[in-house]
Chain A
């Protein structure tokens, strides 16, 4: 028995400057139809009948939302017609005009998005303020520890959905990549707070959805991922890459991630499910350096490999990625949500460059200290 589910319009992201490459053929714009076979009912889920229109307005709370992912996600939510409240301490401006965003679009967004000022570590305040407002859906973009989530679910007993930004960093290192959602997780990982949060949500009977991105990139990225390469390319410096340079990583564009967050909203297929969300292909460290150059219009960079064990960088980070293979399969999200990334790597990096670094903006001041240590050693080896 087939059923029509009318999905919301896939959004086109406005960029006045053309990217280095023409838009990819893959992916689709505009409305899409998803034909889904009637899914087997799980006990908790009410029967859905007739045609569901996704855009029924919800009262949505976004924990965070002023820095990176949330900036794009909140715009999509507002465009969908939802009432969006951002919960932040107010340290960063509640809204900022995006590069390439028209004045009208920005004014519209700014006029509609609401702010709830507070510190999410103040659990009492979180509980009382949320209970007073009564939200339908929570997007938890900046949660790290399970304790942070408790006051939220306590405050909102009728919550329709808790959508959590987790991390593929929870997966246990494997000999047989990629990571699939069913794979073993590492209770000792640096991201164990995310795991504990997922478990808490599950144990409380909340209708939760967990998204596990890999490395996120795109304009406004505060993690110096692509920016790290752009700084060096701009300075005409060689790119120091640890080990063989064939380690494989995976980047996912923030706009594709935001799209995925929209796709899971009110989606029965997302109920109590985990989804890896990232780019369609994976890339070697060396390949990423070259892709950044290509995207930004720099000549192919000189790459220098070094053995990180031969150096003591102290607290300084010499390279923005984990020194290992790290990538996850996105096939579950593609199959179940009908989501697929629109940006391929070079396109996505071009988008980031054109809207951010290429305009002279970046988050982290350049620091070539570790580069210089590596180059120094290489020089001295050549001389001996």
Chain B
């Protein structure tokens, strides 16, 4: 049934008025006997939060008036990012590179494939000049020949952001090990968690053992790098994104089309600004001992329902919203093609990053979506001619008109 939604008042992170000073906290963890994490490597359960590391970081004394921030050590590192050439994860390498460069590290981004390929015309690759002017190095090649592609250069840290399975990542892992890389980081996926009636996905929860990413994680863990960590992201938003996220909603909203949402629309998902993923990765680079041996859900700390996301997009666009609910089976459409997110609760929380790294989430969807919409308009996508074949099929099956 179609519902015209009036925008409910809400506010994200509004402060209640309170006369007290802002709370300043330091990371605390109960001291316990800590078993070595390398012993739990090969079990199907990775590090569980009930056995936190007994390492904690003291900070420099911050200004009382400023918000407490963990200040990292300033060792300059040589970082190699092996980056995928397409898809939702592509943008992670771009932000991470930028942040590392801004912090004074040396960064090389090895993008899979060829510099001249059509894929490189899309963001974030189309913006790689920004990395170069910031002092970064951008190269292209086949990760299975990584040593050759990097010209025998040495690195302290390697982030593999190109792996779905062991075939793709093993050459990079093996080379990194033989080249004495101190820290190996891997972008895995929160999609490997087994679904449950209980949410969220928390580090240590059971994963699908046959998932490609799981095999890679286990392999990395087995090699005893001086420091290794795996990061499990979900969906991302942010300028330079290679894959549509909120754009899917904007496309329909600006054209006054109904927004078809499967099921009840109550499904929870997690949309993080990619700057959050980048800051988590950077913190791991700056705190290799703390990060070592850990799984990190690489997500912001808030979820959003499909309904909520549609509402926030409409608010960002300053437009009306018309949601239409459907059952993919009854409408005869492929659920994956019809909607940009998994048709179920898919919600992980970044508990390890907060507890172990002292990381903080900054994603603020209501605000971030406003920026995203501004860019959406700036690049003229609101005027673009688009086809909505799957939508039309859905609307047809529900006998709902295409324009509101």
A residues apposed to B, CB below 8 Å: 25-28, 32-37, 39-40, 42, 172-178, 180, 182-185, 202-203, 243-244, 246-248, 272-273, 280-284, 286-288, 290-291, 325, 329, 331, 334-336, 338, 345
Contact = CB atoms under 8 A, between A and B. Distances in A.
B8 to A, nearest CB: 7
B30 A291 contact: no
Contact of B308 (A32, A176, A286): A176
Per DSSP, are chain B's interface residues mostly helix, strand or loop, or mixed? loop
Interface residues of B, number: 55
B309 to A, nearest CB: 8
| Most chain A CB neighbours (cut-off 10 Å) among B198, B302, B351 | B198
Nearest to B62: A40
B354 A331 contact: yes
B50 A175 contact: no
B266 A176 contact: no
Given A27-B50, A182-B13, A282-B199, A40 B24 contact: yes
Contact of B268 (A177, A273, A287): A177
Nearest to B23: A273
A284 B24 contact: no
B303 A173 contact: no
A282 B200 contact: yes
A184 B11 contact: yes
B20 A272 contact: yes
B18 A202 contact: yes
A248 B268 contact: yes
B2 interface: no
Given A175-B308, A175-B312, A244-B264, A283 B198 contact: yes
Given A25-B50, A40-B24, 5 more contacts: A28-B30, A34-B31, A175-B312, A176-B304, A244-B263
Nearest to B17: A199
10 contacts: A33-B30, A175-B307, A176-B302, A176-B308, A180-B301, A184-B16, A202-B20, A282-B199, A283-B197, A291-B198
B28 A34 contact: yes
A173 B351 CA distance: 23
A178 B25 contact: no
B355 interface: yes
Contacts of B354: 331, 335
B30 A32 contact: yes
Contacts of A35: 28, 31, 56
B36 interface: no
B28 A338 contact: yes
A28 B32 CA distance: 9
B264 A338 contact: no
A176 B27 CA distance: 25
B315 to A, nearest CB: 9
Nearest to B24: A40
Interface string B1-40: 0000000111111111011110111111011100000000
A178 B21 contact: no
A329 B197 contact: no
A338 B26 contact: no
Contacts of B311: 175
B48 interface: yes
A335 B11 CA distance: 25
B379 interface: no
Nearest to A244: B264
Given A175-B10, A325-B305, A335-B355, A37 B58 contact: yes
A34 B30 contact: yes
| Most chain B CB neighbours (cut-off 10 Å) among A32, A183, A185, A203 | A183
Nearest to A195: B16
A246 B266 contact: yes
A183 B28 contact: no
B266 A42 contact: no
A253 to B, nearest CB: 14
B25 A335 contact: yes
Nearest to B345: A246
A36 B305 contact: no
A282 B198 contact: yes
B241 interface: no
A175 B305 contact: yes
Closest 8 CB pairs of A and B: A287-B197, A175-B308, A26-B50, A244-B264, A37-B26, A176-B302, A184-B14, A281-B198
A291 B197 CA distance: 9
B197 A286 contact: yes
A318 to B, nearest CB: 18
A43 to B, nearest CB: 8
B267 interface: yes
A182 B18 CA distance: 11
B198 A287 contact: yes
Interface string B254-281: 0000000001101110000000000000
B264 A243 contact: yes
B386 interface: no
Nearest to B54: A35
A243 B32 CA distance: 44
A202 B20 CA distance: 9
Nearest to B202: A281
Nearest to B11: A184
| Most chain B CB neighbours (cut-off 10 Å) among A33, A37, A42 | A37
B48 A284 contact: no
A175 B308 CA distance: 5
Nearest to B354: A331
Contacts of B11: 172, 184
B74 interface: no
B19 A183 contact: no
A25 B25 CA distance: 27
B217 to A, nearest CB: 21
B355 to A, nearest CB: 7
B25 A176 contact: no
Contacts of A39: 24, 26
B311 to A, nearest CB: 6
A226 to B, nearest CB: 15
Interface in B152-204: 196-200, 202
B111 to A, nearest CB: 33
Contact of B8 (A173, A283, A334, A338): A173
Given A27-B50, A290-B197, A335-B25, A177 B58 contact: no
B109 interface: no
